[in-house]
């Protein structure tokens, strides 16, 4: 039998998962390609639940956002006006200094900080939503009726899944495509990598448990 393989295109170790998968294949009658697709589906769902959803209040506190809630006549504004974001300003200026660039003038700095705040707030939910493309694609392939009830933002770089097909060496692939800017480089959010690693470990544990359960059941029949 060919070595079973599930590929999630992230920097995550699959050794524990692979070991459990090999054992599970010994006690299941399902086709290898079907097993791979189902396991990738469950890993993606677990990872989705483990990824923490960004919190608007926490983001604004981190960036030290100052807003104006009332107009000149004391009337409450329908939408609070963003005045400054001193935390964002510090991040921007610090980054420029570290790169050997000149600090921005006050007006440009405040505008850049407001732009950063808007970008961070628009990204709320996008990190989690990046996993939905994988889940939904495999769900349709496997004809699983369970739907993700959470409303998620529309994003351009949705995750993709390439289901395994019945062949000699099938591979099921899940591609997570949402990235963040860190030090001038686009990287996959650390929270996502951590969630996928935990999801793989959880699914490996489930397969190990199922392997032991079915093995004991077969022993009792002897």
Q: CA torsion 212→217→221→222, rounded to 10°?
A: 10
- From the list 58, 83, 86, the residue with the least C-alpha distance to 70 is 83
- Res 7: pLDDT: 45
- Res 23: pLDDT: 93
- Res 11: pLDDT: 35
In whole angstroms, how far apart are CA 68 and each of 72, 77, 106, 116? 10, 8, 19, 18
* Average pLDDT of adjacent 10-residue blocks, the chain of 222 residues: 44 73 92 92 93 79 86 81 86 87 90 84 76 89 67 66 88 84 68 89 94 88 70
Structure tokens at 184: 């001038």
d(CA 38, CA 143): 11
d(CA 110, CA 207): 53
CA 89 to chain centre: 27
- Over the chain, what HEC string results? CCCCEEEECCCCCCHHHHHHHHHHHCCCCCCHHHHHHHHHHHHHHHHHHHCCCCCHHHHHHHCCEEEEEECCCCCEEEEEEEEEEHHHHHHHHHHHHHCCCCCCCHHHHHHHHHHHHHHHHHCCCHHHHCCHHHHHHHHHHHCCCCCCCCCCCCCCCCCEEECCCCCCCCEEEEECCCCEEECCEEECCHHHHHHHHHHHHHHHHHHHHHHHHHHHHHHHHC
pTM beyond cutoff 0.75: no
d(CA 168, CA 165): 9
- Res 27: pLDDT: 93
- Res 3: pLDDT: 45
CA 5 to chain centre: 21
Q: CA torsion 69→75→76→78, rounded to 10°?
A: -110
Across 97-120, b (16+ Cβ under 10 Å) vs e yields eeeeeeebeeeebbebbbebbeeb
């Amino acid at each position: 039998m060919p070595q079973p393989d599930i590929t999630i295109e992230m920097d995550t170790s699959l050794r524990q998962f692979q070991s459990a998968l090999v054992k599970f294949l010994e006690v299941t009658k399902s086709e290898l390609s079907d097993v791979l697709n189902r396991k990738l589906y469950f890993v993606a769902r677990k990872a989705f639940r483990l990824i923490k959803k960004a919190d608007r209040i926490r983001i604004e506190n981190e960036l030290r956002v100052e807003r104006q809630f009332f107009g000149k006549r004391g009337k409450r504004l329908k939408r609070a006006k963003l005045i400054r974001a001193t935390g964002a300003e510090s991040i921007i200026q610090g980054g420029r200094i570290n790169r050997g660039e000149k600090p921005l003038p006050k007006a440009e700095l405040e505008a850049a900080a407001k732009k950063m705040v808007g970008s961070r707030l628009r990204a709320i939910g996008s990190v989690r939503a990046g996993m939905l493309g994988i889940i939904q694609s495999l769900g349709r392939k496997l004809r699983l009726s369970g739907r993700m009830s959470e409303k998620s933002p529309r994003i351009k770089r949705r995750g993709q899944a390439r289901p395994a097909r019945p062949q000699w060496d099938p591979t099921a692939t899940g591609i997570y495509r949402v990235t963040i800017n860190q030090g001038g480089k686009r990287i996959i959010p650390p929270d996502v990598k951590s969630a996928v690693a935990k999801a793989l470990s959880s699914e490996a544990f489930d397969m190990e448990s199922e392997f032991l359960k079915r093995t004991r059941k077969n022993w009792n029949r002897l």
